[in-house]
Structure 1
Amino acid sequence: MSTYTIAGGGIAGASIGYHLAKAGHTVTLYDRADTGQATAASAGIICPWVSQKRNKNWYRLVTAGARYYPEFVETIEAETGVSTGYKREGALCLFKDDVVLEKGFNRIHSKKENAPEMGEVYKVQREDVKKMHPHLTDLYPGVYVEGGGQIEGANLLKALKAGFLHHGGQWINQDFEHKKAEGLLIYASGAWAIEQGYQPEIRHQRSEVFHFEVEEAVKTADTPVVMALGPIYLVELGTNKYAIGTTHVETESFSAEPSQENYEYLKGLAQRYFPDSQIRDINMMVGLKPFARDYMPYIGYVEKNVFVANGLGSTGLTASPVLGREVAKFLNGEETELNFDDYSYL
């Protein structure tokens, strides 16, 4: 067995730590719990098949993540007794008109042959949208993907930490210093990678999410994730509670204070997509999402005894569980599903 030190207790670092500890290694993880950690502010949509990104390496990573989720969640919840909030009520992708709907359906449905975990994929006409989601506007038709799901980022992190400790890992809530490293050092420090001094360059985007409640007599739960027009999503957080996001602004700031401008923008979108509902504010969440060159994550060695896993951006919750599994296999010298040459591009 080997010794590992992990710098960063976000979803990627926690997943790597969990899988390494489960494999019997000695693992120490340092986390200073910076405000603005992307995990806590993410809506956690697990539906990579609807993306229009063309990068094949990225797509292999996120689809492997979605495929691994049911098995992973079942295992970690059984080990820890911590609910991750994972559920699959499907995803409803809205399109502005019937012409775009047809193109979107053909694009999404064509991926099903290589991804049976998508389940049923079919078109939803405007008049049927409210049967799936009573609060939602019926202005737009959509495509329904049965296998679409969601995960609660904060709860998933709690489960990973509990699983890590369950398998003998040591979690230290303090800043990491390089001299503290024992064995192989793994950096998974997210947006704060700027402090570590290693390539690749990690930049970050500020992402804001508006949480709100629908004040109606009709109680609605177990609704599908909604992928709305543009880079906008709506995710149910419980009975009549939702989150809408997201804004993506590249920044050098590490402030996690919500902006009035984005609050007004997102609340306006909530009223647009829930036009017949009375909306009550809950709060605004801010996350700092790291990204690397060409928005591709970097996973690999940067020098002999230093390994980096970073740059997952908005796909962190989709990809991190399988990333942890694959990194543990790779470091164990086992066969991996992913080819790490695709992600260690320095």
Structure 2
Amino acid sequence: MEKFTIIGGGIAGASLGYHLKQHGHSVTLYDRNDAGNATEASAGIINPWVSQRRNKKWYRLVTKAAEYYPSFISRLERETELETGYTQRGAISLFKDDEVLELGFNRISKKKADAPEMGEVLKLSREEVKQRHPYLNDSYPGVYVEGGAQVKGALLRDALKNAFVSNGGEWIEGEAPAPGDDHVTIYATGAWGVEQDFGPAVRHQRSEVLHFKVEAPEVVHTPVVMALGPIYIVEMGANEFAIGTTHIDTESFDDSPSEENHRYLRGLAERYFPDHAITDIKMMTGFKPYARDHLPFIGYHDDRTFVINGLGATGLTAAPYIGREAARLLSGLPTSLDLDDYSYMEPEN
């Protein structure tokens, strides 16, 4: 049995702690619960197959992570009897016109050969989009991916924390002590990785999300929507939705909502939901960490220091699986992902 200290109680740290306890290790996790942590603010969309990113290492990671999710959630919810907010109602990617739709459908549907967990991939007319999501306008055609899902970050973290503590892990709210020689210290500190005096270099983006309620006589459950541009719309409750997100490179950790971004997101909500009155619930701000080439770092700094960081906008997709794989590596077990691909210290390209 090894002794590990984890610094950071986001999904990556919590998942790693949970999986390390499954291998019988002694694990203490310290979490400051800083305002603006990405776990709280993220929409938790699990739909990596529609991405146009060409980074093969990133794509291997997120698709394996999406494949892992259903069994992971089933086991976690069974162990804890807690909800994680995981739902799999599919995802719709919108396109500006029929010509771009055709290109998008061909690109996305080709990926199913290597990812059967995508389920059905369907080309949707404007009318068919509205049938699947009655609140949306009927301006855009789309591609539907049956395997698309979402998870609520705060609920997932609570379930992981519950399972971790129930299995003998120690979760401490507050600052971690100085690293010692009798254990491995694992830094899963997200945007706050800038406080560390060793690599990888971490930077962050400030992202804001608007939560709102649709005034409607009945409750309709809907798929995730990947709208035009880097915009998503996800269901958060009974006729409640989140729309986002803004992306601003910053060195600040000020999580105060911006009136400018509120107006922008409110305008988008009214544009995509033109036939219903909407009521603001809240704005949320999160800081998403990025490392070299927008590729997560997973690896040793030295033989007593391990780092997981740079998960960016796909943190909630990738983090549970990264926790499993890192726990296996730290336990001396084979991994299904070649983690050497994510353990880099060379300068950014």
For this structure pair, what is the TM-score category when the shorter chain's length is used for normalisation?
Answer: over 0.9
Conserved? CA contact 1:73–1:84, under 8 Å: yes
Equivalent residue number for residue 176 of structure 2: 176
Q: Aligned partners of 1:162 and 1:314: how far apart in 2?
A: 25
Q: What is the aligned partner in structure 1 of residue 337 from structure 2?
A: 338
What is the alpha-carbon distance in structure 2 between the residues aligned to residue 132 and residue 323 of structure 1?
33
CA distance in 2, matches of 1:102, 1:19: 42
Deviation of residue 330 (structure 1)? Answer: 0.8
The answer to whether the 8 Å contact 2:83/2:159 transfers is yes
Query: Aligned residue for 2:44?
Result: 44
* Residues 181 and 229 of structure 1: CA distance in aligned 2, closer, same or farther (over 3 Å): farther
Q: Distance in 2 between matches of 1:329 and 1:21?
A: 11
Residues 181 and 304 of structure 2 are in contact (CA less than 8 Å); yes or no, is this contact kept in structure 1? no
Displacement of 1:180? 5.8
Q: Distance in 1 between matches of 2:211 and 2:197?
A: 36
Q: Which residue of 2 aligns with 1:105?
A: 105
- Secondary structure of the equivalent of 2:320? helix
Q: Mapping of 1:140-179 within 5 angstroms?
A: 140-179=140-179
Distance 2:293 2:248 in 1: 16
User: Secondary structure at the residue paired with 1:28?
Assistant: strand
> Partners of 1:81 and 1:128 in 2: how far apart?
36
Shift of 1:6: 0.5
Residues 215-254 of structure 1 aligned to structure 2 (within 5 Å)? 215-221=215-221, 223-254=222-253
Identify if the C-alpha distance between structure 1 residues 181 and 80 changes in structure 2 by more than 3 Å, giving closer, same or farther. Answer: farther
Name the SS of the counterpart of 1:326 in structure 2.
Answer: helix
Alpha-carbon shift at residue 218 of structure 1 (Å): 3.4
> Does the Cα contact within 8 Å between 1:5 and 1:181 map onto a contact in 2?
no
Per-residue CA distance 1:267-299 (angstroms, 9 max, x = gap) = 100000011110100000100110101111100
Equivalent residues of 1:24, 1:167 under 8 A apart: no
When normalised by structure 1's length, the TM-score is: 0.98
Report the counterpart of residue 137 of structure 1 in structure 2: 137
User: 2: distance between equivalents of 1:196 and 1:126?
Assistant: 49
1:93 is aligned to 2:93: yes
After TM superposition, list the pairs within 5 Å mapping 1:57-68 onto structure 2.
Answer: 57-68=57-68
- 1:73-98, Cα deviation, whole Å (9 max, x unpaired): 01011111110010100000000000
Counterpart-to-counterpart distance in 1, 2:180 and 2:165: 20
Distance 1:233 1:278 in 2: 19
Partner of 1:73: 73
CA distance in 2, matches of 1:231, 1:257: 22
In the TM superposition, what whole-angstrom CA distance separates every residue of 1:4-35 from its partner, at most 9, and x where no partner exists? 00011111111111100121100000001100
In the TM superposition, what whole-angstrom CA distance separates every residue of 1:116-161 from its partner, at most 9, and x where no partner exists?
0000001000111111011001100000000000000100000110
Instruction: Please state how far the C-alpha of 1:311 moved relative to its aligned partner.
Output: 0.3
Q: Tell which deviates more after alignment, 43-52 or 191-200.
A: 191-200
Partner of 2:10: 10
Amino acid at match of 2:111: K
Contact between 1:135 and 1:277, CA under 8 Å: does it hold in 2? yes
- The alignment-based identity, stated in percent, is 61
Deviates further, 304-313 or 212-221: 212-221
How far does residue 179 in structure 1 lie from its aligned partner after superposition? 4.0
Amino acid in the other structure paired with 2:89:
E
List runs of 5+ in structure 1 lacking aligned partners. none
